[in-house]
Structure 1
Amino acid sequence: MSTTHVIVGAGQAGAWAAVSMRQAGFSGRILVVGEEKWLPYERPPLSKAMLTAEPRPGPQYFHDPAKYEAQGIEFMRGMPVMFLDVAGRRIELGDGRVLPYDRLLLATGGRARLLGVPGGERALLLRTIDQALALRERLASARRVVCIGAGVIGLEIAASARALGAEVTVLEAALAPMGRSVSAEGARFVAELHARHGVALHCGVIVKSLEREADRSERVAYGEGEAVSADVVVAGVGMERHLALAEQAGLEVDGGIVVDEFGETSAPGVYAAGDVAAFPHPLYGRRLRLESWRHAQNHGVAVGRAMAGAPVPYDDVPWFWTDQHGVNLQIAGLPTEAARTVLRGPGAFTAIHLAEDGRVVGVTAADNPREIRAGTALIKARARPDPARLQDASVPLQSLIPR
């Protein structure tokens, strides 16, 4: 009797899990069920090239559709999953059909969070291709753009809008931009970058409402009686993870779907990967839940192998990048875990983030992938380099990696 592995979620983690199952030797049926009409595609271009490039680019698929066909990977597109029965090992689809499975992967990702203020439903969101196309159309004629939220998505949209010639204001509730991802030094670098490119960045302010004006523009009220008008308002205020299916099924959920080092949940035969998974990380001694391009891919690969019977513990060093105003900023590890930051210099921005005991726990660098590669190795080695040598830009980071 044929074995069937079902993947719920046709994003990056789900796509890579499916392919890695085949690469690991799984010969049974692989079925990927996704709510979007598209095959799995890259999300990073949505806030950059998809908004600005001419001619308008199409979706960038992770794999050629012919590869899925050749490997016998099936897709159900535009299909929600309504119910998960872990005892009976089956799922119920939006059209009422019931599908049995032998092993199941929840790679459900999330949706862009709505702006929860009066009028907030009119703020555009960005998470999917369809949302990117709608935003592109609006930005084409916009003179004034307000981005609510100074996380990665909000700031990338702000940079794209500036590249299109719009006046851009960014409103952020936290005291610094990208506060979930970078140190104070990294936040200062990002703020100065946007200031140099003419973005008005206001941190520590709360948006109160959006009010439609007579000319169909929006008046964005914030702070203590302040306001700014915009032709386009975009909300980049985080992601709501798709956890409802896991919660309904009684899986252990703690901010994310709790999994072991192989991606298996509290229910045998049910796995989770990518944005929704809360996994144990040996370097940081606790569970992490990450939202990044590489984590979605590599965790999907690792969990797919585990589902195919070739498990390898997942211990990737966290890493992500962002492109803003022509600058490529990369972050490895967890800079926000640091007790101290050492700036290398003079020259391009590179920050090394150290724990209380001197271990390297994060690295942030602008336009310097070599420093990121070396820094990642330092993190993985739990290295404790001399801070004076870290600060000296003439000392290659690679030379400080323990041998």
Structure 2
Amino acid sequence: MSTPQNVLIIGGGLAGAKTAEALRESGFEGSVMLIAGEDHLPYERPPLSKEYLAGKAEFDKALVHPAQWYEENNVTLRQGARATSIDAAGHKVTVDAGGATETLDYDKLVLATGSTVRKLPLPGADANNVHYLRTVEDSDAIRSTFGEGKKLAIIGGGWIGLEVASAARGAGTDVTVLEGGKLPLLKILGEKVAQVFADLHIANGVDLRTEVKITEIVTEDGQAVGVRLEDGDAVPADAVVIGIGVTPVVDLAETAGLDIDNGVLVDATLRTSDPDIYAVGDIANHDHPVLGHRIRVEHWATALNQPAAAVKSLLGQATEFTNLPYFFTDQFDLGCEYVGHATGSQEQVVIRGDLNTREFVAFWIDENSTILAAMNVNVWDVLDDIKPLIAEGKKIDPKKLEDPTIPFSQV
């Protein structure tokens, strides 16, 4: 395979910026252009629901690289530009930049188009003070609703909803979380661990309402003033945040004729059905060589780490991406890390530590007594010992696993 001279990257988030970085760190001397839809420099999104939202960090801390990095590394950054179609046969991309259309050539193309928020089709959901969280502007708008005496209703008890609730309560806001399931995070964590997060929020003053059905967002003069439930109850609110998940942005990949199914299908090396196009980050439905099945992961670590493998592959050194899925969250005084992949509801859960004090490691175990995933909660420096147990598919003894006196290497 000939070495490409021209690599085009579409997507101005963490995955796109890390792809450009990996190209230069690999010694690639050809043309690198990054098409970024936002006017900002590429930035990381976790701070938008964590320290930046809480007012504990400046936005500059979220930038992947300062402006001079792109200049010093000869990376052409096209901010405020939007790719509209891909001609895979002709190796061309059509771009709209401020209403002006142009066509760009590529030898290799990397798609890092990320996700978009799921919208809630409810009456009143288009009110001025109904917010979703995806961009820094969204985070700024949500933070402006915080404060003593203000009421915030959050629809959705997933990671984003709970992190927003934590930041809002930290600012003295009255917070109500409305969740359709029996517990927040139930489908992800299962009942035993999900209850820990429910108790955490209740203990910190969140009005957590579960198993609710919402019929409308109540508005007056174009402003949301509450959320109406199916039982007729109305939750008063000065603002509403909706956090019901995201969907991968694949419309551009569709124009290229790529294979798509819950994202863009990629092989173990992150190559799509077109040998000259790779996909990384939220959109990549990856044939994971360690897990043994396809998985699409919408978390920071995937966007951070996949680009290095994709770049090696597109430069001719086929490299499988083998990292286990990973994410982290910080809520009130709880910090945790999760590694691996489990459904949360169908596996045995083994706990090492104390759920009541919220200092424990939870393990999700399948019917073969192998660990599918683990979460360390307010317990640190254990992931390096746990990851091999998951990656190697080692059969373990659950009784030994829950015993904190037995090293992980001996379970």
**TM-score, structure 2 normalization:** 0.92
Residues 1:269 and 2:276 aligned together: yes
Distance change (3 Å), C-alpha of 1:21 and 1:308: farther
1:91 alignment counterpart = 93
1:64-103 matches, cutoff 5 A: 64-94=66-96, 95-103=100-108
Q: CA deviation at 1:77?
A: 0.4
Q: CA deviation at 1:308?
A: 2.5
2:254 alignment counterpart = 247
Are the counterparts in 1 of residues 4 and 108 from structure 2 also a CA contact under 8 Å?
no
Are the counterparts in 1 of residues 217 and 224 from structure 2 also a CA contact under 8 Å?
no
Are the counterparts in 2 of residues 59 and 129 from structure 1 also a CA contact under 8 Å?
no
Aligned to 1:121, the other structure's residue is in SS state: coil
Number of residues of Structure 1 aligned to a counterpart in Structure 2: 400
2:25 alignment counterpart = 23
Letter in 1 for 2:352: R
Distance change (3 Å), C-alpha of 1:57 and 1:69: closer
Residues 1:392 and 2:397 aligned together: no
Residues 1:343 and 2:351 aligned together: yes
- Return the alpha-carbon distance in structure 2 between the equivalents of residues 301 and 179 of structure 1: 33
**Higher mean C-alpha displacement, 170-179 vs 39-48:** 170-179
The structure 1 residue matched to 2:340, chosen from 305, 324, 333, is: 333
Any idea what the Cα deviations from partners look like across 1:37-94, whole Å, max 9, x if unmatched? 1111121111122222268544521123322222211100001111110011000011
Distance change (3 Å), C-alpha of 1:324 and 1:137: same
Aligned to 1:345, the other structure's residue is in SS state: strand
Residues 1:40 and 2:45 aligned together: no
2:14 alignment counterpart = 12
The structure 2 residue matched to 1:383, chosen from 394, 401, 410, is: 394
Residues 1:360 and 2:371 aligned together: yes
Aligned to 1:251, the other structure's residue is in SS state: coil
Are the counterparts in 2 of residues 91 and 98 from structure 1 also a CA contact under 8 Å?
yes
Please list every run of 5 or more consecutive structure 1 residues that lacks an aligned counterpart in the other structure.
Answer: none
1:155-166 matches, cutoff 5 A: 155-166=162-173
The structure 1 residue matched to 2:51, chosen from 29, 49, 52, is: 49
**Higher mean C-alpha displacement, 201-210 vs 339-348:** 339-348
- Return the alpha-carbon distance in structure 1 between the equivalents of residues 104 and 222 of structure 2: 51
Distance change (3 Å), C-alpha of 1:216 and 1:34: closer
Distance change (3 Å), C-alpha of 1:283 and 1:203: farther
1:293 alignment counterpart = 300
Distance change (3 Å), C-alpha of 1:142 and 1:298: farther
For the aligned residue pairs, the C-alpha RMSD in angstroms reads 2.0
1:318 alignment counterpart = 325
Letter in 2 for 1:345: G
Are the counterparts in 2 of residues 186 and 364 from structure 1 also a CA contact under 8 Å?
no
Are the counterparts in 1 of residues 289 and 320 from structure 2 also a CA contact under 8 Å?
no
Are the counterparts in 1 of residues 268 and 289 from structure 2 also a CA contact under 8 Å?
no
Distance change (3 Å), C-alpha of 1:164 and 1:43: same
The structure 1 residue matched to 2:135, chosen from 122, 128, 150, is: 128
1:210 alignment counterpart = 217
- Return the alpha-carbon distance in structure 2 between the equivalents of residues 206 and 280 of structure 1: 36
Any idea what the Cα deviations from partners look like across 1:207-250, whole Å, max 9, x if unmatched? 21111147955120123222201011000111132110111221
1:168 alignment counterpart = 175
**Higher mean C-alpha displacement, 326-335 vs 342-351:** 342-351
Are the counterparts in 1 of residues 115 and 247 from structure 2 also a CA contact under 8 Å?
yes
- Return the alpha-carbon distance in structure 2 between the equivalents of residues 91 and 57 of structure 1: 31
- Return the alpha-carbon distance in structure 2 between the equivalents of residues 232 and 22 of structure 1: 44
The structure 2 residue matched to 1:149, chosen from 143, 153, 156, is: 156
Q: CA deviation at 1:258?
A: 0.3
Letter in 2 for 1:139: F
Are the counterparts in 1 of residues 112 and 279 from structure 2 also a CA contact under 8 Å?
yes
Q: CA deviation at 1:138?
A: 2.4
Letter in 2 for 1:252: D
Are the counterparts in 1 of residues 148 and 174 from structure 2 also a CA contact under 8 Å?
no
Q: CA deviation at 1:301?
A: 2.0
Q: CA deviation at 1:332?
A: 0.9
Aligned to 1:21, the other structure's residue is in SS state: helix
1:186 alignment counterpart = 193
Are the counterparts in 2 of residues 183 and 335 from structure 1 also a CA contact under 8 Å?
no
Aligned to 1:341, the other structure's residue is in SS state: strand
Any idea what the Cα deviations from partners look like across 1:365-387, whole Å, max 9, x if unmatched? 21123233322221112122211
- Return the alpha-carbon distance in structure 2 between the equivalents of residues 92 and 332 of structure 1: 38
1:369 alignment counterpart = 380
**Higher mean C-alpha displacement, 212-221 vs 29-38:** 212-221
Any idea what the Cα deviations from partners look like across 1:314-356, whole Å, max 9, x if unmatched? 1111110110012112111113265211111346122111111
Are the counterparts in 1 of residues 154 and 175 from structure 2 also a CA contact under 8 Å?
yes
Letter in 1 for 2:121: G
Please list every run of 5 or more consecutive structure 2 residues that lacks an aligned counterpart in the other structure.
Answer: none
Aligned to 1:81, the other structure's residue is in SS state: strand
Q: CA deviation at 1:143?
A: 1.2
- Return the alpha-carbon distance in structure 2 between the equivalents of residues 304 and 12 of structure 1: 15
- Return the alpha-carbon distance in structure 2 between the equivalents of residues 206 and 84 of structure 1: 41
Aligned to 1:336, the other structure's residue is in SS state: coil
Residues 1:118 and 2:123 aligned together: yes
- Return the alpha-carbon distance in structure 1 between the equivalents of residues 168 and 8 of structure 2: 40
Letter in 2 for 1:68: Y
Q: CA deviation at 1:21?
A: 1.4
